[in-house]
């Protein structure tokens, strides 16, 4: 069996890339990575440690057009006779994997959270994280896109070879006019630690205490839907059923009531801490640790405690 893993290396290699290669390795068989762009071969070779036997890189293609990228990945799948193509379930995968599914006539499993079970089905979140589904792929070729933070990258091997590849990207029909990438922020879907706040914070001018805690922890920030709707926080921070679905190791929620639609996007978190003045807030039912108290007092205290903990060598 041959597995092809697509890695987005445009901004270097992230944990999600190591997760995807580890996942490919766990499927069994020979793992080839396909990527594009300028990342140096030395860096790409390190994917061998996670189980890749070879990295193919199309250096002539630097864009992010999904139609072109689909052609490149399809040629790599053909050349390696891949029976499964693995993606990390990010925005690129959401655009490219469905296209590739039609092109290769390969059944697509989006947002896998585990390796296939004994009966060959793959576990995914359904109903916005309120339940799990077991998806079976009936076609000979398969595409699986893996939800970030679903498994730990495992280093089992050594650096592998990196080969130039021409995937015949062809023409792009999409012209990029401008790109805005905020520097230094941790992308929310990949973040292992997330500090989130809601309407209980009363106004955008009060977010300093949320950001301070996030900074002390090295966490990303998120918010509830009304907070993004009224413009207190940017839309990309909105988590929940109609926002981003996340599954960090730690989710700290301050001044968020825990409505069912909010929980839908965060209940994949491994551990949840809830800070709320109202002991009856529904969020406490979903929480692992609860603090009944005023966010304006609790958050700065928690930040201090985290700083003290880090200063003590942790």
Of residues 73 and 194, the one with the C-beta less far from ligand FAD: 194
Q: Which residues contact 277 (CB under 8 A, 6 or more apart)?
A: 200, 292, 293, 294, 295
- In whole angstroms, the minimum distance from the beta carbon of 297 to ligand FAD comes to 8
Identify the CA nearest to 127 among candidates 283, 264, 266: 264
**Can you give the C-alpha Rg of the chain in angstroms?**
21
Which one of 33-41, 74-82, 111-119, 271-279 is the stretch in contact with ligand FAD (CB under 6 A)?
A: 271-279
Contact (Cβ atoms closer than 8 angstroms) between residue 13 and residue 43: yes
Q: What residues does 35 pair with on adjacent strands?
A: 57
By CB under 6 A, residue 236 contacts ligand FAD: no
Least distance from ligand FAD to the Cβ atom of residue 269, Å: 14
For the chain, the farthest-separated pair of C-alpha atoms sits apart, in whole angstroms, at: 60
| Exposure letters 131-162 (e unless 16+ CB within 10 A, then b) | eeeebebeeebbbbbbbbbbbebbeebeebeb
Which residues, including other chains, have CB under 8 Å from residue 17's CB and lie 6 or more apart? 7, 8, 9, 47, 88
Q: Does 108 bind other proteins (CB under 8 A)?
A: yes
* Pick 189 or 200: Cβ nearer ligand FAD: 200
DSSP letter (8 states) at residue 187 = P
Return the number of the residue (52 or 246) whose C-beta is nearest ligand FAD.
Answer: 246
Residue window 275-304: x/- pattern of binding to other proteins, with contact defined by CB under 8 A:
---------xxxxxxxxxxx--xx--xx-x
Out of 8, 36, 276, 303, the only residue in the binding site for ligand FAD (CB under 6 A) is 276
Q: Which of residues 183-222 bind ligand FAD (CB under 6 A)?
A: 198-200
Instruction: Check binding of 130 to other proteins (CB under 8 A).
Output: yes
Q: Give 116 or 265: the residue with its C-beta nearer to ligand FAD.
A: 265
Residue 99 binds to other proteins (criterion: CB under 8 A): yes
Site for other proteins in 151-170 (CB under 8 A): none
């Amino acid at each position: 069996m041959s597995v092809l893993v697509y890695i987005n290396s445009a901004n270097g290699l992230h944990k999600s890339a190591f997760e995807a290669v580890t996942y490919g390795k766990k499927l069994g068989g020979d793992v080839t990575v396909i990527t594009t762009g300028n990342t140096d071969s030395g860096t790409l070779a390190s994917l061998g440690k996670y189980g890749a036997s070879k990295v193919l890189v199309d250096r002539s293609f630097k864009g992010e057009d999904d139609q072109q990228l689909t052609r490149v990945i399809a040629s790599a799948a053909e050349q390696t006779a891949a029976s499964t193509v693995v993606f990390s379930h990010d925005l690129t995968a959401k655009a490219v994997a469905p296209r590739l599914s039609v092109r290769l006539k390969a059944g697509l499993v989006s947002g896998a959270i585990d390796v296939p079970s004994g009966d060959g089905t793959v576990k995914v979140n359904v109903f916005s994280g309120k339940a799990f589904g077991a998806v079976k792929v009936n076609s000979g070729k398969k595409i699986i896109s893996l939800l970030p933070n679903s498994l730990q990258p495992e280093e089992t091997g050594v650096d592998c070879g990196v080969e130039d590849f021409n995937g015949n990207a062809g023409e792009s029909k999409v012209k990029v006019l401008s790109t805005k990438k905020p520097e230094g922020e941790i992308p929310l879907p990949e973040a292992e630690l997330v500090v989130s706040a809601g309407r209980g914070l009363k106004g955008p001018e009060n977010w300093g205490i949320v950001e301070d805690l996030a900074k002390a922890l090295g966490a990303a920030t998120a918010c509830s839907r009304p907070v993004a709707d009224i413009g207190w926080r940017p839309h990309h921070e909105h988590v929940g059923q109609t926002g981003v679905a996340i599954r960090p190791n730690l989710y700290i929620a301050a001044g968020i009531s825990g409505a069912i639609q909010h929980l839908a996007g965060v209940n994949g978190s491994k551990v949840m801490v809830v800070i709320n003045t109202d002991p009856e807030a529904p969020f406490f039912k979903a929480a692992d640790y609860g603090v009944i108290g005023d966010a304006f007092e609790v958050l700065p205290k928690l930040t201090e405690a985290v700083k003290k903990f880090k200063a003590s060598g942790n």
